[in-house]
Structure 1
Amino acid sequence: MSLCFSLAALALPLPSQADSTAVNGETRAFSIAPQPLYGALSALAEQSGVQFVYNSELVKGIDSPGVSGLYSLEAALTRLLKGSGISYQFNNGNTVKLEKNAVAEPLTATTMPAVTVTGKSGYADSDPYNPDYNRTSASAATKTDAPIMETPVSIQVVPRAVMNDQKTTTIKDALENVSSIRPQSSLGLSNAYIVRGFRNGRVYRNGLVANGLGIGEGAQFDSANLERVEVLKGPAAVLFGRIEPGGLINLVTKKPRDEAYYSVEQRFGAYDFYRTEWDATGPITGDKSLSYRFSGAYQNNKSFRDFNFNDRVLVNPSMTWRLSDATEMSLEVEALHENYQVDRGLFAIGNRPAPIPVSRSFIDPNDPVDTNSKVNLGFNLSHAFNDNWNLRNRFLASFIYDKNISVKPANGFTVEQFLDPSTGNRRYARNIFSQTSDNETYTTNLDLTGKFKLLGVNHQTLIGVDYLRAVGNYQFYGNYQDPVPGLEIDIYNPQYGIDPSYYADALTTPSDGGANHYLFRDDWYGAYFQDHITLWDKVHILGGGRYDWARTGLGIGNSASTADAALPSRRDEGFSPRVGLLYQPWTWASIYGNWTTSFGANNDITTSGATINPEIGEQFEAGVKTEFFDQRLSTTLAYYHLTKENLMTRDFNSPDPFASAAIGKARSQGIELDMAGRLTDEISIIGNYAFTDARITKDFSGLQGHRLNNVPEHSGSLWLKYDIHHYEPLNGLSFGLGLFAAGQRQGDNDNTFVLPGYARLDAFASYTYQLGKSRLITQFNVRNLLDKTYYESTDPFQNAPPRVGIYPGAPLTAMGSVRLEF
Structure 2
Amino acid sequence: MDNRSTFFIDRTQGVFMIIKTVSLRHGFLLGSVLATGLFVSASAVAQSAVTQQTIAIDLAAQPLEQAITQLATQAGLLIGVDASLVAGKQAPALNGRFTPLQAIGQLLKGSGLIVIENAPGRYTLEAAPAGHTNSNTEAVTLPEMKITSVIDPDAPDNRSYRRSSAFSATKTDTPIMETPMSIQVIPRVVMNDQKTTTIKDALENVSSVRPQSSLGRSNAFIIRGFRNGRVYRNGLVALGLSIGEESMFDSANLESIEVLKGPASILYGRIEPGGLINLTTKKPRGESYYSIEQRFGSYNSYRTEWDGMGPVTKDKSLNYRFSGSYQNNRSFRDFNFNDRVLVNPALTWRPDDATELSLEVEALHEDYQVDRGLFAIGDRPAPIPVTRSFIDPDDPVDTHSRVNLGFNLTHAFNTDWTLRNRFLASFVDDDNTSVKPANAFTVAQFLDPSKGNRTYLRNIFSQISSSQTYTTNFDLTGNLEFLGTRHQTLVGFDYLRSTGTYLTRGNYLSPVSGLEIDIYNPVYGIDPSFYAQALATPFPAGENHSFSKDEWYGVYFQDHITLWDKLHILGGGRYEWATTGRGRGDSFRAAEANLPTRKDNGFSPRVGILYQPWSWASIYGNWTTSFGANNGVTNTGATIDPERGEQFEAGLKAEWFDQRLTMTFAYYHLTKENILTRDFNSPDPFAVAAIGKARSQGIEFDLSGQITDELSVIGNYAFTDARITRDYSGLQGNRLSNVPEHSGSLWLKYDIRHYQPLNGWQFGMGIFAAGLRQGDNENTFALPGYVRLDAFVAYRMKLGPTRLIAQVNIRNLLDKRYYESTDPFVNAPPRAGIYPGAPLTILGSLRLEY
Structure 2 length-normalised TM: 0.86
The letter for the 2-side match of 1:262 is Y
Residue equivalent to 2:262: 234
1:127 Cα deviation from its structure 2 partner: 8.0
Residue equivalent to 2:724: 696
The letter for the 2-side match of 1:452 is L
Whole-angstrom distance in 1 between the partners of 2:173 and 2:496: 25
Contact 1:392 1:447 in 2 (8 A): yes
| CA-to-aligned-CA distance 1:356-376 (integer Å, 9 cap, x gap) | 000000000000000011000
Alignment of 1:331-730 (within 5 A): 331-730=359-758
Whole-angstrom distance in 1 between the partners of 2:318 and 2:122: 30
Whole-angstrom distance in 2 between the partners of 1:109 and 1:16: 26
Q: What is the SS of the residue equivalent to 2:445? A: helix
Whole-angstrom distance in 1 between the partners of 2:90 and 2:644: 60
Residue equivalent to 2:182: 154
Whole-angstrom distance in 2 between the partners of 1:124 and 1:215: 45
The letter for the 2-side match of 1:655 is P
Q: Which residue of 743, 753, 756 corresponds with 2:781? A: 753
Distance 1:109 1:639, change over 3 A: farther
Q: Which residue of 808, 832, 835 corresponds with 1:804? A: 832
Question: How many corresponding residue pairs?
Answer: 768
Distance 1:90 1:682, change over 3 A: farther
Alignment of 1:158-237 (within 5 A): 158-237=186-265
Whole-angstrom distance in 2 between the partners of 1:761 and 1:740: 6
The letter for the 1-side match of 2:164 is T
The letter for the 2-side match of 1:197 is G
Whole-angstrom distance in 1 between the partners of 2:174 and 2:336: 45
Structure 2 stretches lacking a partner, 5+ long? 1-5, 18-56, 92-111, 140-150
Q: What is the SS of the residue equivalent to 2:371? A: coil
1:5 Cα deviation from its structure 2 partner: 2.2
Contact 1:602 1:612 in 2 (8 A): yes
Residue equivalent to 2:272: 244
Whole-angstrom distance in 1 between the partners of 2:273 and 2:616: 29
Identity %: 69
Whole-angstrom distance in 1 between the partners of 2:848 and 2:443: 50
Residue equivalent to 1:5: 8
Q: Which residue of 309, 328, 335 corresponds with 1:281? A: 309
Distance 1:16 1:613, change over 3 A: closer
Distance 1:107 1:487, change over 3 A: farther
Whole-angstrom distance in 2 between the partners of 1:557 and 1:451: 53
The letter for the 2-side match of 1:211 is L
Distance 1:96 1:55, change over 3 A: closer
Whole-angstrom distance in 2 between the partners of 1:139 and 1:126: 26
The letter for the 1-side match of 2:336 is N
The letter for the 2-side match of 1:781 is N
1:420 Cα deviation from its structure 2 partner: 2.7
Distance 1:563 1:311, change over 3 A: same
Whole-angstrom distance in 1 between the partners of 2:620 and 2:61: 34
Residue equivalent to 1:91: 115
Q: What is the SS of the residue equivalent to 1:323? A: strand
Contact 1:92 1:111 in 2 (8 A): no
1:707 Cα deviation from its structure 2 partner: 0.5
Matched, 1:267 2:295: yes
Which of structure 1's runs of 4+ aligned residues deviate more than 3 A?
A: 6-10, 13-18, 41-46, 48-56, 70-74, 95-99, 102-115, 123-129
Matched, 1:323 2:351: yes
Distance 1:333 1:812, change over 3 A: same
Whole-angstrom distance in 2 between the partners of 1:126 and 1:324: 31
Distance 1:577 1:423, change over 3 A: same
Distance 1:278 1:145, change over 3 A: same
Distance 1:682 1:554, change over 3 A: same
1:413 Cα deviation from its structure 2 partner: 2.7
Whole-angstrom distance in 1 between the partners of 2:277 and 2:388: 32
Whole-angstrom distance in 2 between the partners of 1:206 and 1:49: 25
Whole-angstrom distance in 2 between the partners of 1:181 and 1:439: 27
Q: Which residue of 815, 829, 843 corresponds with 1:787? A: 815
Contact 2:446 2:458 in 1 (8 A): no
Q: What is the SS of the residue equivalent to 1:91? A: strand
The letter for the 2-side match of 1:708 is L
Whole-angstrom distance in 2 between the partners of 1:16 and 1:505: 79
Whole-angstrom distance in 1 between the partners of 2:698 and 2:488: 31
Residue equivalent to 2:20: none
The letter for the 2-side match of 1:315 is V
Whole-angstrom distance in 2 between the partners of 1:109 and 1:535: 37
Whole-angstrom distance in 2 between the partners of 1:415 and 1:474: 28
1:757 Cα deviation from its structure 2 partner: 0.2
Distance 1:106 1:301, change over 3 A: farther
Distance 1:16 1:440, change over 3 A: closer
Whole-angstrom distance in 1 between the partners of 2:780 and 2:413: 60
1:217 Cα deviation from its structure 2 partner: 3.9
Contact 2:440 2:446 in 1 (8 A): no
1:53 Cα deviation from its structure 2 partner: 9.9
Residue equivalent to 1:36: none
The letter for the 2-side match of 1:553 is G
Q: What is the SS of the residue equivalent to 1:185? A: coil
The letter for the 2-side match of 1:271 is Y
